[in-house]
Structure 1
Amino acid sequence: MPTGEALYAEDFIKVLERRHLLKIQEDVQKRAALVSTVVIDLLTSTRTTGQPLVDDWDCFKTLVKSFKNQCGAKMEYGMKYAGALANICNMGVDVKQHVSAIEQACAH
């Protein structure tokens, strides 16, 4: 079990990781606002059973990759927003415009 400086360093890293995760959540909310959609609806709406998660898989893969690269999200946390990214793609969006919006929302 770490003590002294090692314990302080471990706790400091945990605080930094938590702040980073909160920043990602804030970035996603900004991103959702940029598409003029109610954030809660975008983040929580789901499709009915039997429907695919997303209609445009190229759009979805592009937005997930952009989110991961721009926001620095650990995939297990970033995937919390996979449904929101799928919903964005299902709205028939301009992918380049939304990649740009992700870059803006996640700019540090």
Structure 2
Amino acid sequence: GETEYFDGKLIVCNFDEWFGSEDYRKKVSSQLGLEHSDKGVNNIIRTVGSSFDGMRFSKEAQKMKVLDRWEHFKDDSDFLGILKNDELIEKTKLLFDVDLKEILNV
């Protein structure tokens, strides 16, 4: 099937959940066999910063509105075209149980 290439070791990480929940980050760390640490969770890349926020949230990355960034592209036809890709819609439903057709009203 779709995940046969992963030898039953597929670990799905939902960015929205990872960004917003320390418990979720602990869970993913455990699934990966790693010791959990939130050291650096509020850091951004010092040399370039965020492409959306620059260095405004230095040492406060969790305050960035990363979950709302899609709104910047909501009227972009290229972006919408990518989201309407049948394979992406199928994989998003399979891996994250998210129905892009419902979200996009297609």
- Measured against the shorter chain, the TM-score band is under 0.3
State the TM-score, normalizing by the size of structure 2: 0.24
What is the TM-score when the length of structure 1 is the normalising length?
A: 0.24
Task: Name the structure, 1 or 2, with higher relative contact order (CA <8 Å, separation 6+).
Answer: 1
